[in-house]
A and B are shown apart, each in its own frame.
Chain A
Amino acid sequence: MSYKEILASYKDVPGGMIEAFHAIQGQYSYLPEETIIEAARVFNLPVAKAYEVATFYSMFSVNTRGKNVIRICESAPCHVAGAADVVAALERELGIKMGESTSDGKFALELTECVGQCQATPVITVNGKVYLDVTPAKIPDILAEYK
């Protein structure tokens, strides 16, 4: 579905812009500028307003990013369980820093706050899929699932 069709399908949903943005990101991994401009038109709002929404929520990105979004929880329970080691391992394995994407467009690395899976810390998610008790040794296998 094109982004115009996606947005049109949410036109009559009250407060539907956030859900529409989720759907667009499902296809593009981020919110391209033209999708925000089109969202403003569809929901009958100034572009600034749509942009405000797009930039408020941490799961939305207005910059291009890799297809598989890896998020590492850095909240206190994951922090004391060794999240920093997991961050270092991911950066080493992918050759990029937090907040960056790989040059082949496959992976994006992001820090996040608590994802609510604190029974087995540290925790990372890839495209929303949860990985528990993550250690640096587990990183290559996790990444292999998406290569």
Chain B
Amino acid sequence: MAEEIRIVLRNYGKIDPLKIDDYLAIGGYEALIKARSMDREELIEEVKKSKLRGRGGAGFNCGQKWAFAYGAQADQKYVVCNADEGEPGTYKDRIIMENDPHTLLEGMAICGYAIGANKGYIYCRGEYPQVTQILNTAIAQAKEKDVLRDFDIEVKSGAGAYVCGEETALIESIEGNRGEPRIRPPFPPVSGLWQKPTIVNNVETFANVPVIVDKGADYYASIGAPAYPGTKVVTLTGDVNNKTFFEVPTNTTIREVIFQFGGGIPGDRKFKAVQIGGNSGAFISADLLDTPIAFDAMTSIGSALGSGAIFVLDETRDIVDVITRVAKFFEDESCGKCAPCREGTARMYELMEKLNSGQGSANDIVLLNKLGRVMSYSCLCGLGQAAPTPVLTTIERFSADYNAKLM
């Protein structure tokens, strides 16, 4: 029987998030003191050795990323926290920030020391004004207690743009511009915010860092799947009994997440499909439920763990209708910078609407497949590259739903 392990949510419900004294009383900011007593290279090596990988979706080795920024020569470097969680069905970063904001500040300050940055930004989505207030309170208290010393943190608010979850679009938005992704390279650890070396990590990634420093890389690396160790906070939505969040070790299977933690499907209905990782995730059929949620296991079944959103559909759901909605999302959220995404997401939605209204033909499905493949390798950023995934995976795995709606 799989069990929850709380690392990033270790203080959930145990402290008053608006009182720094509560956080300090349970050993808060001691990891930062320990980190600052370490040699910078030794600290980065420890984070590398923990095999902590980015929890925002890309799964890059966190310590390796820090090493790039550490090695870059510049008069100024930045630490940026990506708190622009916009994947439908995802609210894990909000849970972390609402309940334990100092964990995030501490993780960022450790990163700041490691790479030699004295300035941090938290880019918090515009839909979370209450979280921005909590973060500002926490920052003010941390300044008053002088726990961050020379490391300064500022909250920047987004204004409703899913694409700003892409790190270079996020950087553009902090600079006050339209949130359009940059052409890479250069990557942010070399040239990011205001052209300075910048680390952009997700909220959940930073929240792991104090534990790694406190308990050591070996402890962390021993939890969950060896190549993607630690835990993942998952949020369950759709046709599932427990629509809530859980923090589970990364070797937990999809089946355990849905049927054990999630309590299964409501009523006597059967499972039909699950989309993991948000709107750009693959739809997974029943035969793949014993796959662990770990990054590489998900990749091996043509899926992605992404943000950890778990969207469950029961047997009564019409896949084509749901995918049409998903396709509209990408048409709405495409930033318009590159043609394959701007045009592709619009045509994809158009074709899905045609199929969903019973006006589509088998040839439209062929067209969708072709369009999706082209977008997956020609779009500039992850938004456009991943937008076709739900369409392509459902055409492959749930063809009966499509065929039932053909003209």
Enumerate chain A interface residues (CB-CB to B < 8 A): 14-19, 21-22, 43, 52-53, 56-60, 74-77, 79-80, 112-121, 125, 128
From B92, which residue of chain A is reached at the shortest CB distance? A116
B159 & A118 in contact (Cβ 8 Å cutoff): no
A-B contact pairs, 19 of them (CB 8 A): A15-B176, A15-B177, A22-B157, A57-B158, A57-B179, A58-B160, A59-B127, A75-B88, A76-B326, A113-B86, A114-B86, A114-B88, A116-B90, A116-B94, A117-B91, A118-B243, A118-B309, A119-B245, A125-B127
From A14, A21, A77, B237 is in contact (CB under 8 Å) with A77
Q: Judge whether B322 and A80 touch: CB under 8 Å.
A: yes
A114 to B129, CA, bound (A): 15
Please, which residues of chain A bring their CB within 8 A of the CB of B156?
Answer: 15, 18-19
**CB–CB B126/A57 < 8 A:** yes
Given the known inter-chain contacts A18-B176, A113-B162, please indicate yes or no for A74 contacting B333, CB distance below 8 A: no
Q: Indicate if B87 sits at the interface (CB-CB under 8 A).
A: yes
Beta-carbon nearest neighbor of A49 in chain B: B177
Known: A53-B178, A56-B179, A77-B237. A18 touches B157 (CB 8 A): yes
Specify which of A57, A118, A128 is in contact with B90 (CB 8 Å cutoff): A118
Q: Which of A14, A15, A21 counts the most chain B CB atoms within 10 A?
A: A15
For residue B173, which residues in chain A have a CB less than 8 angstroms away from its CB? 15, 18
Q: Closest chain A residue to B93 by CB distance?
A: A116
A80 to B323, CA, bound (A): 11
Q: Pick the contact of A59 from B87, B160, B178, B239 — CB < 8 Å?
A: B160
A14 partner residues in chain B, CB cutoff 8 A: 175-176, 194
B89 within 8 A of A: yes
Contacts of B275 in A (CB 8 A): 76
> Taking the complex as formed, is B279 at the interface, i.e. its CB lies under 8 A from any CB of chain A?
yes
4 pairs of A and B residues whose beta carbons are closest in the complex: A15-B176, A57-B159, A75-B88, A58-B160
Contacts of A19 in B (CB 8 A): 156-157
- Across the interface, A80 reaches (CB within 8 A) one of B126, B317, B335, namely B317
CB distance from A85 to the nearest CB of B (A): 15
A128 to chain B, nearest CB (A): 5
How long is the Cα–Cα vector from A47 to B329 in the complex, in angstroms? 30
Q: Tell yes or no: B311 within 8 A of A by CB.
A: yes
Number of residues of chain B lying within 8 A (CB) of chain A: 50
The B162-185 residues at the A interface (CB cut-off 8 A) are: 162, 173-179
Known pairs A56-B179, A75-B279; list 4 more (Cβ under 8 Å).
A15-B176, A22-B126, A113-B88, A118-B237
Given A14-B175, A22-B157, A75-B89, answer yes or no on A80-B238 (Cβ-Cβ < 8 Å): yes
With A18-B173, A115-B127, A116-B91 given, is the CB distance from A76 to B329 under 8 Å? yes
Contact (A112, B160) CB under 8 Å given A53-B177, A59-B126: yes
Determine whether B106 belongs to the interface, using a CB cutoff of 8 Å to chain A. no
Q: Judging by beta carbons under 8 Å apart, are B317 and A58 in contact?
A: no
Do B90 and A16 touch across chains, with their CB atoms under 8 A apart?
A: no
Binary CB contact string for chain B from 71 to 113 against chain A (1 if under 8 A, 0 otherwise): 0000000000000011111110010000000000000000000
Given A76-B311, A77-B89: A119 and B244 interface contact (C-beta under 8 Å): yes
Neighbouring B residues of A22 by C-beta, 8 Å: 126, 157, 159
Residue of A with least CB distance to B333:
A113
Contacts of B160 in A (CB 8 A): 57-60, 112
Among B127, B157, B311, point to the contact of A116 (Cβ < 8 A): B127
Distance (whole angstroms) from the CB of B401 to the closest CB of chain A:
14
User: Counting CB contacts under 8 A, is B53 at the interface?
Assistant: no
In the complex, what distance in Å separates the CA atom of A120 from the CA atom of B94? 15
- Chain B residue numbers with a CB within 8 Å of A115 are 127
In the complex formed, the residue of A with least CB distance to B129 is: A128
**Complex Cα distance A114/B126, Å?**
12
* Minimum Cβ distance to chain A for residue B333 (Å): 6
Contact A118 B279 (CB under 8 A): no
Of A56, A58, A79, A119, which contacts B325 at CB under 8 A?
A79
- With A75-B88, A118-B91 already in contact, the answer to whether A15 and B329 are too (CB < 8 A) is no
Taking CB atoms and an 8 Å cut-off, the chain B residues in 259-277 that contact chain A are 275
Contacts of A114 in B (CB 8 A): 86-90
Q: How far is the CA of A60 from the CA of B178 in the complex (A)?
A: 12
**Given A116-B90, A119-B91, CB of A74 within 8 Å of CB of B244:** no
The smallest C-beta distance from B135 to any residue of chain A, in angstroms, reads: 14
Nearest to B164 among chain A residues (CB) is A57
Nearest B residue to A79 via CB reads B325
A114 to B88, CA, bound (A): 5
Which B residues lie within 8 Å of A118 (CB)?
Answer: 88-91, 235, 237, 243, 309
Interface contact B178-A80, CB-CB below 8 Å: no
Measured between C-beta atoms, what is the minimum distance from B129 to chain A in Å? 5
The answer to whether B325 and A76 have CB atoms under 8 Å apart is yes
